[in-house]
Structure 1
Amino acid sequence: MNRNRCLHVLTIIAIVGIALNLRPVIAAIGPLLDMIEVETGLSHTQSSLLTTLPVFVMGLCALFARQIAGLFTERSGVILGITLIFVACGTRFVATSGLSLLSSAVLAGVGIALAQTLLPAFIKRNYPNEAGRVFALYTTGIMAGAAIAASSSAMFAERSGWPFALSIWAIPGLLALMLWLWATKSEVSLKAKPSIQTKRQNFWRNRRAWELMLFFGVGTAAYTLVLAWLPPYYTNLGWQPSAAGFLLGGLTLAEVIAGLAVSAWIGHFNDRRQPLFAALFLLIAGLACLILAPLKLALLASLLLGFGIGALFPLSLILTLDHIHDPTEAGMLTAFVQGGGYIIASLMPLLAGVMRDQFADLTQAWVAMIIGAILLLILCLRFSPSSYKNIHS
C-alpha cells in the first residue's frame, strides 16, 4: 500500500474517530436521567434541557457556518471542536450541579457544531468520487458512539457513580484529537473558502433548502426523542436503568447497522426517495409498537426505530449533498440544513419533558412523532432527482 493510500485510509479512520465522539456527551444522559434528577433536583422539563441545549446550540452555530469557515481552517475548527467536547465531558466529573451540567451541555454543543459544520466540506473536497460512502461512514460513526455510550453509561454509574459515567467520554475525545492531528498534518494551511468559480448562494431565500432543512429536522427529532426519553420511559414501566440503557444501546446498534447498509447500497439508488420511504415506514412501525405494546414489543420497537432512524439520518444528509457539487457550497448547504434542522430537533425532547411533567407519561410524545413522520412521507414525494436543480433557483 503506497503512502498516499495509507494517508487516505488513515484520514477516513480519523473522520470516523471524530464522529464517534459527537454524541456520547448527549447519549450517556438518557439511561442516567432518573438518577440525575434525584440528585440535582431537576424536573423532567429541566432535565430535558441536557439534550435540548446541545442540539439547539449545534443548530445555532451551524447557521453561522460561513462565518465559522472564514475563521478556521477545516483542520483547526475540528481541533477546537473536539477539544471543547473533551473539556465538557471532563468537567462533569467534578461539576455535578444542575447548572454545571447544563453549562457543560452548551459547551459540548458548540464543540459538536464546529466539527460537524466543517467536516462535510472536508469530506466533499477530499473524496469527491466517494463522498456518499464516506459520509455514510461518518454518520454511522456518530450513531456508533451513541450506541456505546447509551449501552454502557448505566453500568459505569452502578460501579462508580453517574459523574464518572458522564466524564469517562473525555478519554476517547482525547484519542480522537490525537488521531486527527496526525492524519491531517498536510492540511495545516488549507482554508475552507468558496471556489472562485462558484457564486455563493443565499439559502435563506431558497425553498428547496428550507424543505431539506425541515426534512432533516423532523427526522432528527425522532433521534433526539428516543435518545433522551426511551430509557426513562422504560424505567417508569419498571425496568432497571441498566436494562433500559441496553435497550437504547440495541436501538443505536441497529442504527449503526442501518448506516452501514446505507453506505454499502446507496450507490444503487439514484432516486433517494425509495430508501427514504422504507426508513420512514420502519420509524412509524417502531413508534406504533411503543404505543400499543411497549413491554411485549420492546425489542421489536427498538429494532424498528433503530433501523428507521439509522437509515434516515445519513440519507437526509446524502440527499442534501446530492443537490450541489462544489465542496464548499455543499458544506454550506449542509450547515444550513443541519442548523435549522437541529434547532427543530432540539424542541422534541423539551416537548416530551413538558408532556411527562403534565401527564406522567410519554405516549403523547410518540404520537406527535408519528404525525411528524407522516408529514415527512408527504414531503419526500418532492425529492425526485430531476428536482435537485431547484436548489439553484
Structure 2
Amino acid sequence: MDGMSQHETSAIRREPAPQNPEEAPGPRRQATGADARPGPAGAGPAATSGLPRWFTPVLTVAIVLAALNLRPAVTSLGALMEETRDGLGMSGTVAGVLTSVPPLCFAVFGIAAPRLARRFGLAAVVCAGMAAITAGLVLRPFAGNTAAFLAASALSLAGIALTNVLLPVIIKRWYPDRIGSMTGLYSMAMAIGTSLAAAVTVPMTDAVGGGWRVGLGLWAIVAIIAVVPWLPLARAARGTAAADRGKTDAMAAAGPSMLRSRTAWALACYFGFQATAAYITMGWMPQIFRDAGVSAGQAGLLLAVTMFMGVPLAFVIPRVASRMPNQGPIVVLLGAFGLAGYAGLYFAPAGGAWAWALLLGISNCAFPLAITMIGLRARSAAGIVKLSAFAQSTGYLISIPGPLLIGVLYQKTDDWGLPIALMAALMVPQILIGVAAGRNRQIEDEGPDGASYGSTKPARIA
C-alpha cells in the first residue's frame, strides 16, 4: 500500500536464465527424491525448510490481516476530515499537511525496512510494524492538539511503511511459486480494508455516538487482531533470519544501480504520480462531495466505491499486465478514466457523484499496475529488491507536495475548481511517464548512460 510484485512465473520466462537458481524469476524446479521436503502447499521446498508445517497457512492468514490494515488509518480520517479539523482547530493548509504525512512516512521508513529486515528478520519487522499501527490508532483519539495528532498518525504510518515494503518480499520469500496469486490476494485485502474504512467509519461513529475520536479509534481493534498471528510467525522464523540476512546482503551487493537507470526513474516517477492521485483522493474526495451538498455518510460511501474498485481489479490487472510485453496501453486506459472522473468532479460533482467515484476508482488501480511493472522490469531477485525499494521510496517522496498543494489552493480560493483542475493536469505526466515505464526493458540491461548492454531479448510468452 502502498511493495514488490513479479510476473506470473508460469506464464513468462526470460532469456537468458540467471546462472544462480536462487535469483531466477521463473518457476523453481520440482525437488525429487532426496531433495524433496514436505511443506505447505504453494510454498517451494527451499522456502519452508526448517519451519513447522503450520507456518505457511498461518502466514497466509497473517498477510491478509496485515493488508487489511494498510489503509484504514488514512481513509477513516478522510471520511471524518471535517470533524477532525473542527475538533483540533486545523486550517485547510494544516489539513493539507496531514494528507501529505502518509507518503512522507512511507518514503522515510520504507527506506529503513530492508535494513531492519536484515537485522531482525522479515516476520519480526512486520510484527513490529503491525504493533506500531495499533499503537498509533490507539493514541490518536486522545490527541489534544494537532501536533500530538500528527505524531500518533506518524507512528501508525511508520508501521504501515515497514509492512508496505516487506509484505511483497515475504511473498517472494515463502511463496516462490505463487507470487502472482499471492500478490493479487494481498492487493485485494488491502483494497477491501481501504474501502471498508471509508464506508463504515461515519455510520460506526454515528452508531456509537462518541464523535470523531471514537470513530477513528475503533480501527485499533482491527489492528490488534492483525498483530496476533505475527507473534508466533516471528518466533518460528527467527532461526531463518541469519540465513536470510546473508542472502539479502549478497543480493544487495550484486544488484544493479538504480540511480543510473532510466527505467528505474520512470517507475519511481510513475509510482509517485499515482500515489499523488491516490492520497489526494483518500484525503480530499469526501470533502469535495460534502462541499457540493452530499451528506457525510454518502460521501464516505462514495470514497468506499472508489477504493472498492481495487478489489477485483487488483487481482485482474497484475495477471493481464504480466502477460503483455508492454504495459503502456493499460497506463493510458487508466489515465483516461482518471481524466473523465476529474472532469465530472469539476462540472457536476453532486449530479454524477457515483459515476465519478467509479471512474476514479478504476484510475486508482494504477497502484497494482505499478507494483506489477516493478516485478517485470528486473530480471534478477537482487534487481527486484533494489528496484522496489528505490521506486517506492522515491515515488512517495515525489507524491508529498500534491496533497499539501491541494489543501493550500482550497484554503486560498475556498472553492474546488482550481484544485480539481490541478488533479487533472497531474494525470497527463502520469500517463506519459507510465508509458515509458511500461516498455519491455530490464534494469540489468541499462548502462551508466541509460543505454542498454548485454541481452535485451524480450519476454517470451508461453
TM-score, normalised relative to structure 1: 0.92
> Distance in 2 between the 1:269 and 1:200 partners?
25
Q: Name the counterpart of 2:73.
A: 25
For the Cα contact (< 8 Å) 1:251–1:303, is it kept in 2?
yes
Q: Which runs of 4+ in 1 moved over 6 A?
A: none
Shift in Å at residue 22 of structure 1? 1.0
1:99 and 2:135 correspond: no
Matches within 5 A, 1:4-153: 4-5=40-41, 7-153=55-201
Q: Name the counterpart of 1:269.
A: 324
For the Cα contact (< 8 Å) 2:124–2:234, is it kept in 1?
no
Q: CA-to-partner distance for each residue in 1:334-353, whole Å, 9 max, x for gaps?
A: 12111111122232211111
**Given the alignment, which residue of 359, 362, 367 partners 2:421?**
367
**Given the alignment, which residue of 304, 318, 336 partners 2:390?**
336
For the Cα contact (< 8 Å) 1:63–1:340, is it kept in 2?
no
Q: Name the counterpart of 2:297.
A: 242
Shift in Å at residue 384 of structure 1? 4.9
1:214 and 2:299 correspond: no
Q: Name the counterpart of 2:220.
A: 170
Q: CA-to-partner distance for each residue in 1:126-180, whole Å, 9 max, x for gaps?
A: 2233323322322222222111111111122223211111111111111111123
For residues 17 and 102 of structure 1, do their structure 2 counterparts lie closer, same or farther at Cα, with a shift above 3 Å needed?
same
Shift in Å at residue 379 of structure 1? 2.0
Moved more, 357-366 or 194-203: 194-203
For the Cα contact (< 8 Å) 2:256–2:443, is it kept in 1?
no
What is the number of equivalent residue pairs in this alignment? 391
Moved more, 148-157 or 3-12: 3-12
Shift in Å at residue 108 of structure 1? 1.4
1:313 and 2:349 correspond: no
Shift in Å at residue 63 of structure 1? 2.8
Shift in Å at residue 391 of structure 1? 6.0
For the Cα contact (< 8 Å) 2:195–2:307, is it kept in 1?
yes
For residues 326 and 389 of structure 1, do their structure 2 counterparts lie closer, same or farther at Cα, with a shift above 3 Å needed?
closer
SS in 2 for 1:63: helix
> Distance in 2 between the 1:9 and 1:261 partners?
24
Moved more, 20-29 or 205-214: 205-214
Q: Name the counterpart of 1:294.
A: 349
> Distance in 2 between the 1:183 and 1:65 partners?
18
Q: Which amino acid aligns with 1:175?
A: I
SS in 2 for 1:92: helix
Shift in Å at residue 260 of structure 1? 2.8
Q: Name the counterpart of 2:28.
A: none
> Distance in 2 between the 1:166 and 1:180 partners?
24
Q: Which amino acid aligns with 2:129?
A: G
Q: Name the counterpart of 1:179.
A: 229
Shift in Å at residue 182 of structure 1? 4.2
SS in 2 for 1:28: helix
Shift in Å at residue 375 of structure 1? 1.4
For residues 364 and 128 of structure 1, do their structure 2 counterparts lie closer, same or farther at Cα, with a shift above 3 Å needed?
farther
**Given the alignment, which residue of 174, 183, 188 partners 2:238?**
188
Moved more, 16-25 or 113-122: 113-122
> Distance in 2 between the 1:277 and 1:47 partners?
31
Q: Which amino acid aligns with 2:104?
A: F
For the Cα contact (< 8 Å) 1:37–1:43, is it kept in 2?
yes
For residues 234 and 359 of structure 1, do their structure 2 counterparts lie closer, same or farther at Cα, with a shift above 3 Å needed?
same
For residues 390 and 283 of structure 1, do their structure 2 counterparts lie closer, same or farther at Cα, with a shift above 3 Å needed?
farther
> Distance in 2 between the 1:183 and 1:263 partners?
28
Q: Name the counterpart of 2:10.
A: none
For the Cα contact (< 8 Å) 2:189–2:311, is it kept in 1?
yes
Gaps of 5+ in 2: 1-37, 42-53, 448-462
Q: Name the counterpart of 2:19.
A: none
For residues 332 and 390 of structure 1, do their structure 2 counterparts lie closer, same or farther at Cα, with a shift above 3 Å needed?
closer
**Given the alignment, which residue of 205, 212, 219 partners 2:260?**
205
> Distance in 2 between the 1:144 and 1:53 partners?
22
RMSD: 2.2
Shift in Å at residue 245 of structure 1? 0.8
For the Cα contact (< 8 Å) 1:208–1:390, is it kept in 2?
no
* Structure with a larger share of its residues in helix: 1
Q: Which amino acid aligns with 2:40?
A: N
Q: Name the counterpart of 2:282.
A: 227
For the Cα contact (< 8 Å) 1:150–1:248, is it kept in 2?
yes
> Distance in 2 between the 1:225 and 1:162 partners?
21
Q: Which amino acid aligns with 1:278?
A: L
For the Cα contact (< 8 Å) 1:62–1:336, is it kept in 2?
no
For the Cα contact (< 8 Å) 1:51–1:105, is it kept in 2?
no
For the Cα contact (< 8 Å) 2:261–2:443, is it kept in 1?
no
> Distance in 1 between the 2:442 and 2:59 partners?
30
For the Cα contact (< 8 Å) 1:255–1:308, is it kept in 2?
no
Q: Name the counterpart of 1:355.
A: 409
> Distance in 1 between the 2:268 and 2:318 partners?
22
Q: Which amino acid aligns with 1:334?
A: S
1:255 and 2:310 correspond: yes
> Distance in 2 between the 1:195 and 1:97 partners?
43
Shift in Å at residue 116 of structure 1? 1.4
Q: Which amino acid aligns with 1:172?
A: V
Moved more, 3-12 or 101-110: 3-12
